Structure 1
């Protein structure tokens, strides 16, 4: 019997333009392995090959050892009996894992009952305890569609973890979470190896990889470019790509060129107030966004950042206050969603979805190819459906789609939460460049204060004592 809880030997993935070179890893009891790399490098596909859930058109080869049992990677169905009991996946997209018709606590309780074997009452008690530990006590009675992206992700985390599997694969488990919630999830992930299990984590967050420790593997274009102890690789990378990855952390970004002379705002508001569920989100909030200006929005989860954007876009009413929008822009007010799967039809290929957009709004089809090139999107992806590409690739398609509409105001709700540091930096630099070039005002939501400081001309802070809000110009950007 193998001494490893999880072992992959020479695993390859091929099909539809994808080639993942032979990948091998070994995790003993207590082992931690983190996969880092650019969007589309194959990190999630490796996890899917181990689980036996590769998309149609892709096939795996190689050998696997899972909790002491040998498997052929090519036989996907052979691992299904392990799901939840011995092998658990925390998915990248909670919308693909949660039942939209079932309330959060019931989804977690279902795992406790049918996977862990608890009776109905004990399963429900355990589910409430899990949600409370993740700061979701108020979300237990809500449907997935009523949750923010970060909240839905934590519910999926609780449901996947309820069976107590000794091997956990976590695919981007902290994306879209603010720092306190991210740290709490890291602590929860660490419980698996501390209890004698094994943890394989896929993340774009270098700080998460540092906190988890263990071994780090850096992937690029389906190949391993560097591997070793996390402390060594993330402090002194030996590969050129590893160094680029670290240099792309937001705290190291150069600041963009100043905005220059401000013109009449594309959107402005005064005295805004909003409450939801009997709780005040913000009050007496005034702001304005000029053409080409980048305004950051920061604050803890649930403080009303997305709600503010919906109000400025005209899809939600304020309790009080006034909002003024520039006229003469029929498609001018657009939103980039935090969770792109919720914004794309899952049934159609991306080429068809873009064709429909071009036809519906009489857009310039010739603008698609150069924008795809600037966003680093391969034309082969057009032949796939939204669920058949990585979350980062789909988010860049969302950016492509909204830029084709040439908006005058764009509310970008965590638009790069699925992107690796290098792609995130390139994408946001391009977004700032295009905003300046096209005189589009952008309101950018992020949980990363360093990112907001480097990218934005000014910022709005929501939350804090008594829900006091403030708008302030960042002195570093003056």
Structure 2
């Protein structure tokens, strides 16, 4: 039997209101393990403890063996010489992993040159090949801020994996990707164990866990509640929580109550919109109207212009052509956005309590409404004492939802608002959004890469087509316009 590439003995994490019960695991060459479970259950903290990058206020104890070398979990600095060479982390938040001033191809080139040890020109060629394989051949010259969330995720993936580490930890590696890109990343992840490495994956996407195979462990409230072969755990879970998790896949959701009646007028409407970016047309002659209380889903591949369209309706990005009309007499603060990547929307330097206090003072809100919203969103009050980078991605996403709801918007552009949430919390959060949209007559444009989610939650859907992919598929024939259809 092969010696394990990663052996974790009684790894526990504690401090600042967090308690992760002792976890033990072992991964030999060729093996793969996927961690599933509720948002905030400690999945990412386990990965950070292995890497030695736990947030301030948290401490680990236990023992680690990585590629035959022993480490104390408490000594995070001791693993730094392994980064990139023998131990690699594909991060959950690409914005924390990418240099905002460096173009995509240069970031990947640096990894090939300084981690893998390739010569300058060889490193550049390898970086270009990596980006092309991930569908980013034309994005190499762009800065991270010019990329969609899914594109930035793929660049971070290419940069982190360029060093050829044999032990790879992938934290939500397919978040924000459409189905074809997700499947491509899953195939790339699978190469590590196929080539004799080991793979530890953290995901909320049950289908990704199925495709990766190997073993699956389900965490809840800091404890592993079920573990076994993927086919068994994901096909016939033994625990009540495992059964609830599987039942919460979007394809199994009940449809929300239909819109009782369409109110007169619209919260936002657009006529004959056109937009190009980077010399490429995203869409043209696009017309739509969103009515009070209506949920309109937007689907399409990464980079096709979904986020750009929402920003245009909010007045954050100008249209090249066309007209946008908003409800007469509405406040400019009534048009709000839930960002795909909440770290980009929160100051990292202040505690969450201070950030909410600033919002309350700025807009003269009633602070007494915050605790009830936190309870409905499943947020522990103790999280208010932390900074945005000190809580899980799913918890920060729910704080972003809380912040927007406090402003009582009449139009909400929700850009992948639940991409960091486990299926159970995702279903509960979206059901709450739909309920509030109906109650308060707030129009919602919901972007998602999950067609089943849009099918279940939305009254209508708009499909945007990636121009380059469509031209390739249709061999140069006319590109169809965006299609709006009932869900």
Q: What band does the TM-score fall into relative to the shorter chain?
A: over 0.9
* Alpha-carbon distance in structure 2 between the residues aligned to 1:168 and 1:445: 30
Residue 19 of structure 1, CA deviation: 0.4
RMSD: 1.1
Instruction: Give secondary structure in 2 for the equivalent of 1:234.
Output: helix
Matches within 5 A, 1:44-59: 44-59=44-59
Matches within 5 A, 1:238-253: 238-253=238-253
- Provide the TM-score with structure 2 as the length reference: 0.96
* Alpha-carbon distance in structure 2 between the residues aligned to 1:169 and 1:131: 20
* Greater CA drift, 365-374 or 456-465: 456-465
* Alpha-carbon distance in structure 2 between the residues aligned to 1:247 and 1:43: 21
Instruction: Give secondary structure in 2 for the equivalent of 1:430.
Output: helix
* Alpha-carbon distance in structure 2 between the residues aligned to 1:199 and 1:38: 21
8 Å Cα contact 1:287/1:471 also seen in 2? no
Instruction: Give secondary structure in 2 for the equivalent of 1:211.
Output: helix
Residue 26 of structure 1, CA deviation: 0.6
Aligned residues: 475
Residue 2 of structure 1, CA deviation: 8.3
* Alpha-carbon distance in structure 1 between the residues aligned to 2:198 and 2:482: 44
Residue 274 of structure 1, CA deviation: 1.3
Alignment deviations for residues 350-382 of structure 1 (CA, whole Å, 9 cap, x no partner): 000000000001011111111110000000100
Which residue of structure 2 aligns with residue 328 of structure 1?
A: 329
Which residue of structure 1 aligns with residue 473 of structure 2?
A: none
Matches within 5 A, 1:218-237: 218-237=218-237
8 Å Cα contact 2:2/2:29 also seen in 1? no
* Greater CA drift, 261-270 or 228-237: 261-270
Structure 2: tracts of 5 or more residues without a match: 471-477
**Which runs of 4 or more aligned residues in structure 1 lie more than 3 Å from their structure 2 counterparts after TM superposition?**
464-467, 470-473
Structure 1: tracts of 5 or more residues without a match: none
Which residue of structure 2 aligns with residue 438 of structure 1?
A: 440
8 Å Cα contact 2:5/2:27 also seen in 1? yes
Matched, 1:169 2:188: no
Residue 469 of structure 1, CA deviation: 2.8
Which residue of structure 1 aligns with residue 273 of structure 2?
A: 272
Matches within 5 A, 1:20-419: 20-263=20-263, 264-330=265-331, 331-419=333-421
Alignment deviations for residues 60-118 of structure 1 (CA, whole Å, 9 cap, x no partner): 01111101111111111111110001000000001111111111111111111111111
- Structure 1 pair 363/281, CA: closer, same or farther in 2 (3 Å)? same
8 Å Cα contact 1:391/1:418 also seen in 2? yes
Which residue of structure 2 aligns with residue 469 of structure 1?
A: 481
* Greater CA drift, 94-103 or 272-281: 272-281
* Alpha-carbon distance in structure 1 between the residues aligned to 2:320 and 2:115: 45
Instruction: Give secondary structure in 2 for the equivalent of 1:363.
Output: coil
Which residue of structure 1 aligns with residue 474 of structure 2?
A: none
Residue 473 of structure 1, CA deviation: 3.5
Alignment deviations for residues 31-81 of structure 1 (CA, whole Å, 9 cap, x no partner): 100000010000000000100000011000111110111111111111111
Instruction: Give secondary structure in 2 for the equivalent of 1:41.
Output: coil
Residue 472 of structure 1, CA deviation: 3.2
Residue 327 of structure 1, CA deviation: 2.5
* Alpha-carbon distance in structure 2 between the residues aligned to 1:117 and 1:472: 50
- Provide the TM-score with structure 1 as the length reference: 0.98
8 Å Cα contact 1:460/1:469 also seen in 2? no
Residue 303 of structure 1, CA deviation: 1.0
Instruction: Give secondary structure in 2 for the equivalent of 1:354.
Output: helix
